Structure 1
């Protein structure tokens, strides 16, 4: 459905593009190529709008990136949310998260890794880096809070472990690692998490 929002200074003339579709297309571009490699002119061409319309809708390229990060984190790419939906103990949820990452991160159709973890990696734009860091921090905090409900004394360390493991898998996937290799790593990492939480439980 085409949005009915108006362009500034263009009274009564509706914007001729779909905002949701535009964010979806931009998300795929940022994910496949990284923030810095995608220019405003290319975004305009891909979205079917001119740069003034892009700025009117999103404020800036970084504003569009922020919308893309939000859409990514609220959708199927939120692996931790998907893993939690399966129920089980904290250890089971964390192991499931790692396995989902191993299956999801390998390259498909030119897209590999995680947009949140790698979309602004080494970006020269401080605003883009800050947006990505905020999204990473929110994902880590979500894991920490769930872990803390069962193992508060291990929550910070295990959240760090999970964030580091997933960042490593994302980077490896972007470098060409396939699902078999990532699944082996995820199984080892998941076993380490289960041992850590198991040791904690047995000590109580």
Structure 2
């Protein structure tokens, strides 16, 4: 069920009109995701966000908290939606399948037509001033958590004999996630999907054999 919030929609010319109308919180949050994804945390102004969300600044604060809290909610939505390929990839039956799905998912998500290029979790706050430190730390933790999940999955692959005993699951996880993050940066720079997929395929040609 989609949530509606009765915080009101204000006219930019004349303030509140009649009885406050509710707005669709989920739809507003989806629009905020796209703004942060496209412009980053510091680049996204309150005016950009509220215009895209179709609500007033007052309503935004009432429904989502401040800008940093809105970003946190947007990152959660991104992780569940466009970034959900990581969770699905971890369910692949082999470690190579996991790595292949992670890289393919990264290429697909960071080059989607009619969507911002790159990855919200990578470019969202690479460079921020002191006011954005909390968001920068949040995204560092987000990226590290993803790497930890991949490491745990590769450790299971070692234990099950799917990867050679001498494999370092932490190093292999860091390799795959670093490559994925690099793909996201290249996508944001305009490198095309086919070229990025070729790079991912090349990286997997030397996959450890059990």
Is the structural similarity TM-score above 0.5?
A: yes
Alignment RMSD = 2.2
Are 1:102 and 2:107 matched, yes or no?
yes
Seen in structure 2, the aligned counterparts of structure 1 residues 187 and 16 have a Cα distance that, compared at 3 Å, is same
Name the structure 1 match of 2:26. 20
* Distance in structure 2 (CA, Å) of the matches to 1:104 and 1:26: 17
Partner of 1:189: 203
- How many aligned positions are there? 190
Q: Give how far 1:2 is off.
A: 4.9
Of residues 102-111 and 134-143 in structure 1, the stretch that sits farther from structure 2 once superposed is: 102-111
- Rounded to whole Å, the distance in 1 between the matches of 2:43 and 2:32 is 12
Highest RCO, 1 vs 2 (Cα 8 Å, sep ≥ 6): 1
After superposition, where does 1:1-204 map in structure 2 within 5 Å? Answer: 1-4=2-5, 16-85=22-91, 87-106=92-111, 108-109=113-114, 111-124=116-129, 125-151=132-158, 154-192=168-206, 194-195=207-208, 198=209, 201=210
TM-score using structure 1 length: 0.83
Q: Hey, what's the Cα distance between the residues in 1 that align with 2:186 and 2:82?
A: 21
Name stretches of at least 5 consecutive residues in structure 2 with no aligned partner: 9-18, 160-166
- Cα distance change of structure 1 residues 2 and 107 upon mapping to structure 2, 3 Å threshold: closer
Q: 1:16 to 1:97 in 2, by over 3 A?
A: same
| CA positional deviation for 1:141 | 1.5
The answer for unaligned runs of 5 or more in structure 1 is 8-12
Q: Deviations over 1:9-57 (max 9, x none)?
A: xxxx877222111111000111112111111122122212221221122
Larger helix fraction of residues: 1
The verdict on how the C-alpha distance between 1:146 and 1:123 changes in structure 2, with shifts beyond 3 A counting, is: same
Structure 1 runs, 4 residues or longer, greater than 4 Å off: 4-7
